[in-house]
Structure 1
C-alpha cells in the first residue's frame, strides 16, 4: 500500500500534483484514530465509504509515534501487536487518495513502551524528584519529555519515514507539548544554561521570576521543535507540512514569527461541550482561534461522542442533534469542520448520518463563504490563560458572551496578545467583561483606540491590576471610564440592588421598575464630572430576618457610569460582577443591561439586525457587494444545560441590513432553503423574512445600485 516519492516528491498515487497551498482545498476532514487491536478487525473499505458519504475532502489517519500502524523499520517504534503483515495506514491512505482527498498522518509522541523506556531513559519526562513519570491512564508505559532527543530525533525520524513511504500532505502530532513541567536532566540543564534559574517547582505563579522565564523558554523550545519537524518533512516532500495540534487556545503557546512561517492553518481541539457548556461554545472556539491569526484558516475538531472534563467515554455516541449543531455553529463562525472517531470499529453507527448532514450543509454553503469574511462592529476581549480561569475571568466572559448571543448582536473576539491599535481599529466597540490584568502598554492601546473614536464597555475589575496581578491605586483606564477607584472589591454581598436614578438609553426595558438586582462583588467608584450615572447602588441592608429586609438609605454610589468620549466614542463602566453573575444566575435584567450598554456604545443602529424568538447565534459574512447573515438555530429544550436532545425548528426571524451608500435596494436569497426571499426597503434598510429553519439559515443580501450610465 505504500506509495514512493517520484521526482520532486509532489506526485500523488492518483496522479494529481501536490502544491504548497493544498490546505486551501482541505475543508471537511475525517479523522480516524486507530486502537492497537484494530489491524485485522476493522474494515478500511467501510471507512472509505464513510469519507464518501460525509463529503470529506481530507483525512487524518493514525500512523505512528506511540504505536505504529504501518510496518516501520525504526528501532523502538512500537508496532501494533496485531499488525502482522498488514498495513492499515497505507490502505487507508490509498483509499482516501482514490477519492481525491488530502491526507494527514497522525503521530502521538506523548508516551513510550517499556522496551524504549529501558533503552532510552533520556527520553522520559521526570517529576521534581527526578523519577520517571508513569502514564496516568495505563500501567507500565512512560511519558516522554518534550524537550529532549525523543522529540527532536526519534519523532523526526518517524516523520521522515512516513512522508518518504506514503503519499501524504502533512504530519499531525497530538499530545506533543508535554504534561506539566518535565524535570528531565536535559530540561534542567538547558533551562539553567539559558536563563540562570532552576526549573520552577510549581506552575502558574506569575510572581515567580523562574516561572516567567520558563514560559518564555518553553515557547522558544517548542517553537524550535516545530521548525525542525516541519523542515524535516519538507526536505523529503516539498509541499508537505508538519502541523502539531495546538488545542483550543490556538497558537498562544508558540512564537508568532515561527507560526507565520510554518503553520498554514490552525486546529481547535475542543471536540464538544463539556458539562453544562452552552451550545454556542463551538462558535466561540472558532472566534478565539481566528482572533489570533485572522488570515489563516482554522478547523474545529468535533468528536462523535460526548466530551466531559471528568469522564471519558471515547467509544460512545453523542446525540445526533448535538453533534450536528456543534459542527454547524463552528463553521458558521468561520471554523471548517473536522470530525474524529476513536477506534476503527463502528459498533454504533448513529453518528454517521448527523455528521454527513452537517458536512453536506457545509459543502452547499462553502461557495458562499468563499470571498467573504466575517465582520462585526463589536469585539469582546477574551480572558486569557490559566490565571483567567483561576480568578473566575471565564465566567465574566461567558456572561457577556451569552448576553450578546441572546441580543443577536454580532461580535468577534480579540485575543489578549493581539491587542493592538490596528486590531481594534476594525471595531466600533470593545467589551471588557473583567479585564483585570492589563499592562500599561495595553491600557495605552485602549486609550488610543478611544481617542480615534472607539467605544468601550467594561465591568468589574477591568484594568485594576497590571499584567502580573499587582494592584494599582486607580484604574489603568480611569480616564476612559470617567470613574476613579475609592473602595476595593467587596464581597460576597447579599441582597444588593441598583436603583434607576437617571433617564438614559441604558434604562430602556425597565419601565416601571425602580430598582433591579445588583451585584455580589462591588467596587466603590467616584464618577468624574461630565459623566452619567443611570444606576446607583442602594446601601447594604439585611436579608434576614424578613421583617428587616428594607433599605435604610437612598441610593448613593455609582453602579453604572457612562461617558461621551472626546474622540467621538462612548464608554460604559459597571463596577460590579455583571458578567459572572449573569452567567451564574441568568437574571434577564443583567442581560438587558449588557445589551443596552453595547447598543448605546455603538452610537447608532446596528448594520445587521435580527428579530424573533428563540436562541440564535448570529454571524455576518460580508464582501463589497453583499452581506450574508448566518443564523444558527440553538433553540432546544436544554439550551443552557448543554446537551441537545433535539433542535426545535427556528421560529420566524426578520433579518434587516443597512443599505450601503449608493444602494437603492437589495435582493435576498435563503441559501439553505434554496429560495429567494421577498425584500422590503424602508429607511435605508432592507428586510427579509426567514419563516423557519432546522440547523441554520443563511440570508444573502445583494445590493441594487442606481444606474449611473
Structure 2
C-alpha cells in the first residue's frame, strides 16, 4: 500500500499527566514583544509522541494506534475544496463525507481516549478564493488580481491571511469549536504569509501604518526589509487574535500546528521568510517536518540542529518534530528503508528536546518497526515532560540575521547558517552543554543563568540587543562572537563599526582582498560601506589563508598543540580585518599563504567582569563548510575560556559521535538532571557520494565506557541509567562525581535525582 503523508492526515499522541503537578507559566521572552506568549494547557505539556494518519484508518488500526500511545489525532473539518460539516460560513459541503461520518469519527476517538486535532488548510480554500477575489494573495508588485482555472484547479490559489480573510479564517475555527466541543486542538498546513503580499488590503494597511507604499520584494532594499517586519507583525496579530477567540470558548484548546522553521533545511532557505520565528511563541506546540534526505543535509549536523532550534523557538516549552520516513527526497519514497532508521530518527528528536511525531500508517514491512520505535519513545516518557535546558552555553540562531543579512536563498547557507552549524557541530562533538536561543532572548532576563553567549556571525543586532549583550558581559558573562557580529542593525542596515566594538576589543577595518591576500595600504573603512553593501561583499570574504596560533595562549595547549602547535595551518573560509584596541590580546593570526601573521584572527578581551573572544577568521563557518579538526578545538576552547571558570553542569567523556544534552526536569518529588546520550554512529557513513548520501542506518554499533561527571560538591542523591532503572555507582575523580554508562546502543539517559544542596 502507499502510505499517506502528513499533508493528507494530521495527528499527535499524548500520555497520562503527572498527578497534581501544576503547570508553570511559560517564561516571558525578553524585550518588547508585541504579544504575550500563550499559556499552554496541562494536557499539551504531558503529550508525548504523535500519530498522524489515524483519520484514514479503520477501527482496528485506530485501536492499535491508541494502544501504542496515540492520544491526539487529526480529523479534517475543512479541506481546500469543501467543508466536512454543515457550515454557515463555507457553503460547499464535501460530497465525499456522508452525513454522520464526522460525528461517528469524533465518538470513536472519544471512546479510544484520543483527543481530536482539527485540520484546516489556512490559506488554500477554493470556495473563498472564488467568491472573494480581493482576499487573494498578490505575490508581486501589481494591482492585478491573480486568476486561476478553477475547473482545472478547484482548490484555487493562496489566500492572504494578513487582511479580511484572516478574520474569516478565525470565524470558521470558532464555529467548529462551538459546534464540536470535543475538538481539543487545531493544526494548519501553511499558516504563513509567503514572504508578503501586495493585495489591496495589504497596500492600504501598510500605507496607513507606515505612510509608504509596499516596495518591490528585494531584501537589498532597506524599505522592503522594514515591510517584511510589518508583514511578520500582521501575521503574529492574526494568531494572537485566534488564540484569544478560541481560548475564550475553550481555555484548554491548543494550536498544535506546523511550523516553517528548521527541520526541513529548505525552510531556512525561505528568504524572504514565510513566517517569523517568534510566531512559534503563539502556538501551544509547533510541529516541524524533519527531513533527512539529501536536499535537507540529512547526513550532516543540520537535522540535529533543526530539532534543537524547533524546541528553542518555543522558549523551550513543548515542540514536536516529525521525522519523515523517506529514503531520498527526489523521488520521494520508502524504497529499501530500514526499520531501524525509524528509531534512530525518532530518538534524535528526543535527544534534542522535541517530542517525536510520526505517521502511523506505514507499509506492512515497516509497521512492526514503527510500533517498536513508538514503544521506545513511550518508555522514555517519564523523563521527557516539564524540562528545560540546563544552562551553561547559549548559542544564538538569529532569525533577523538569516533574513536581513543572508538575503538570498542561494547564499544564506554560506553567508550565515554555516557559522551557526559549525559552532553547533563543535559543541556537540566536544559535549559542551549548549542551548539554542533566539533574537528575543538577548535582553531582559533571557540570558540569566548562562555562563557564556555565542554569537556566530550574528550580524543583525539592534541597539537594545547590543546594549543587553554589553551589560551581560560587564556583569561577568562570557562572550564568543565572529565575523560581522553586531555590524548591522536589526533591519540589516550596515553600521560603520561593530556596535560591540568596545566589548570585542577591536574595530572593523574591512574585508580581505582575494585571492587570499590582505590589503597592505588601505586602513580605513570604505566610506560607502555604511550606505549600502557592495554586490561582491560576501564573495570577497572567502579565501584560502594561512593561520597561526600564538605561543603561550589558551589555544597553545592540549590537542591544539598536538594538531597545530605554532606552525602555519590552512584556513579556508570567511574573514574580516580588525584593529585591536589597547588592552586586547591577539592569540591567533591569519594572512595570505606564506604570511600567516598579517591580520588578527582571534582577539581576546576583558570587558567589565566578563571574558570575550572575537573570531575575525570564521573558524565556525569553516568547520561546517571546509573543516579541519583544529577548527573545532579553536571554537570549543574559545567557549571554555570565555566561560571564565564556571564549571559545566555536566561533563561527558564520550566519542564525538555521541550527542549529549542535559535538561532539568520538575517532578512531584523535586528536580532531576537528565543527560540524554544519542549514538549518531553510522556504519556506512561517508561511503557514498557526499552530495546524495543520506542516513539509512541498518544497525547500531554500541558504544561502551561513556563517563558522565557532576561537579563537586553537588546535590545528586542517586543516578540511574534509563530506561530500565539500572543504578549507577558514583566515584570521585578530579573534583567530579563520575558514573560510567554500561552500554549505549541508540539512546539512553543518565538520570540524576537531586536533593537539597549537600543533602
Specify the TM-score bucket, using the shorter chain as the normaliser: 0.7 to 0.9
Greater CA drift, 459-468 or 390-399: 459-468
**For residue 14 of structure 1, what is the aligned residue in structure 2?**
none
Deviation for aligned residue 1:609: 1.6
**For residue 336 of structure 1, what is the aligned residue in structure 2?**
355
Looking at structure 1, the residues matched to 327 and 134 of structure 2 have their Cα atoms a distance apart, in angstroms, of: 37
- Give 1:365-404 correspondences, 5 Å limit: 365-370=380-385, 372-384=387-399, 385-389=402-406, 390=408, 391=412, 392-404=415-427
1:592 to 1:614, Cα distance in 2 relative to 1, 3 A: closer
1:644 aligns with 2:659: no
User: Which of the numbers 506, 511, 530 marks the counterpart of 2:561?
Assistant: 511
1:180 to 1:98, Cα distance in 2 relative to 1, 3 A: same
Looking at structure 2, the residues matched to 613 and 619 of structure 1 have their Cα atoms a distance apart, in angstroms, of: 14
User: Which of the numbers 97, 109, 112 marks the counterpart of 2:110?
Assistant: 97
**For residue 632 of structure 2, what is the aligned residue in structure 1?**
591
1:367 to 1:125, Cα distance in 2 relative to 1, 3 A: same
- Give 1:30-109 correspondences, 5 Å limit: 30-32=51-53, 43-68=57-82, 70-74=84-88, 76=90, 78-85=92-99, 87=101, 89-109=102-122
**For residue 635 of structure 1, what is the aligned residue in structure 2?**
681
Deviation for aligned residue 1:393: 0.6
- Cα pair 2:728 2:739 within 8 Å, conserved: yes
Deviation for aligned residue 1:56: 1.6
Deviation for aligned residue 1:612: 2.6
- Cα pair 2:256 2:287 within 8 Å, conserved: no
User: Which of the numbers 630, 643, 662 marks the counterpart of 1:620?
Assistant: 662
**For residue 12 of structure 2, what is the aligned residue in structure 1?**
none
- Secondary structure of residue in 2 paired with 1:98: helix
Deviation for aligned residue 1:125: 2.4
1:418 to 1:269, Cα distance in 2 relative to 1, 3 A: farther
1:533 aligns with 2:553: no
Query: Deviations along 1:147-200, whole A, 9 cap, x unmatched?
Result: 344442256235513651362112222213233433333333333333332233
1:314 to 1:96, Cα distance in 2 relative to 1, 3 A: farther
- Give 1:281-680 correspondences, 5 Å limit: 281-294=302-315, 296-305=317-326, 308=329, 311=330, 313=332, 319-340=338-359, 348-370=363-385, 372-384=387-399, 385-389=402-406, 390=408, 391=412, 392-491=415-514, 493=516, 494-508=543-557, 509-511=559-561, 513=564, 514-537=567-590, 539-541=591-593, 551=594, 555-567=597-609, 569-604=610-645, 605-622=647-664, 626-637=672-683, 641-661=693-713, 663=715, 667-680=718-731
Deviation for aligned residue 1:616: 1.5
Looking at structure 1, the residues matched to 481 and 251 of structure 2 have their Cα atoms a distance apart, in angstroms, of: 48
Deviation for aligned residue 1:577: 2.1
TM superposition score normalised by structure 1: 0.83
Deviation for aligned residue 1:108: 0.7
1:279 to 1:672, Cα distance in 2 relative to 1, 3 A: farther
- Cα pair 1:502 1:533 within 8 Å, conserved: no
**For residue 9 of structure 1, what is the aligned residue in structure 2?**
none
**For residue 136 of structure 2, what is the aligned residue in structure 1?**
124
Looking at structure 2, the residues matched to 380 and 479 of structure 1 have their Cα atoms a distance apart, in angstroms, of: 21
Deviation for aligned residue 1:486: 3.1
TM superposition score normalised by structure 2: 0.78
**For residue 207 of structure 1, what is the aligned residue in structure 2?**
222
- Secondary structure of residue in 2 paired with 1:597: helix
- Secondary structure of residue in 2 paired with 1:700: strand
Greater CA drift, 441-450 or 297-306: 297-306
1:554 to 1:673, Cα distance in 2 relative to 1, 3 A: same
Greater CA drift, 692-701 or 222-231: 222-231
Query: Deviations along 1:210-252, whole A, 9 cap, x unmatched?
Result: 5514522x23432343244344444554533455544326999
Query: Deviations along 1:471-519, whole A, 9 cap, x unmatched?
Result: 3333222222222233435446354111233222223313354122224
- Cα pair 1:248 1:270 within 8 Å, conserved: no
Query: Deviations along 1:285-313, whole A, 9 cap, x unmatched?
Result: 343244344363222233344684xx473
Looking at structure 1, the residues matched to 423 and 203 of structure 2 have their Cα atoms a distance apart, in angstroms, of: 43
**For residue 286 of structure 2, what is the aligned residue in structure 1?**
266
User: Which of the numbers 722, 730, 742 marks the counterpart of 1:691?
Assistant: 742
1:244 to 1:683, Cα distance in 2 relative to 1, 3 A: closer
1:479 to 1:241, Cα distance in 2 relative to 1, 3 A: same
1:248 aligns with 2:300: no
Count of residue correspondences: 657
Greater CA drift, 671-680 or 346-355: 346-355
Looking at structure 1, the residues matched to 601 and 48 of structure 2 have their Cα atoms a distance apart, in angstroms, of: 48
1:212 to 1:500, Cα distance in 2 relative to 1, 3 A: closer
1:471 to 1:203, Cα distance in 2 relative to 1, 3 A: closer
Deviation for aligned residue 1:100: 1.5
- Cα pair 1:405 1:617 within 8 Å, conserved: yes
RMSD: 3.5
- Secondary structure of residue in 1 paired with 2:342: helix
- Secondary structure of residue in 1 paired with 2:202: helix
- Cα pair 1:160 1:232 within 8 Å, conserved: no
- Cα pair 2:225 2:492 within 8 Å, conserved: no
Looking at structure 2, the residues matched to 47 and 403 of structure 1 have their Cα atoms a distance apart, in angstroms, of: 44
- Secondary structure of residue in 1 paired with 2:625: helix
Looking at structure 2, the residues matched to 524 and 190 of structure 1 have their Cα atoms a distance apart, in angstroms, of: 44
Looking at structure 2, the residues matched to 109 and 324 of structure 1 have their Cα atoms a distance apart, in angstroms, of: 32
- Cα pair 2:277 2:313 within 8 Å, conserved: no
Alignment gaps of 5+ in structure 2: 1-39, 264-272, 517-542, 687-692
1:73 to 1:439, Cα distance in 2 relative to 1, 3 A: closer
- Cα pair 1:279 1:325 within 8 Å, conserved: no
**For residue 16 of structure 1, what is the aligned residue in structure 2?**
none
1:468 to 1:531, Cα distance in 2 relative to 1, 3 A: same
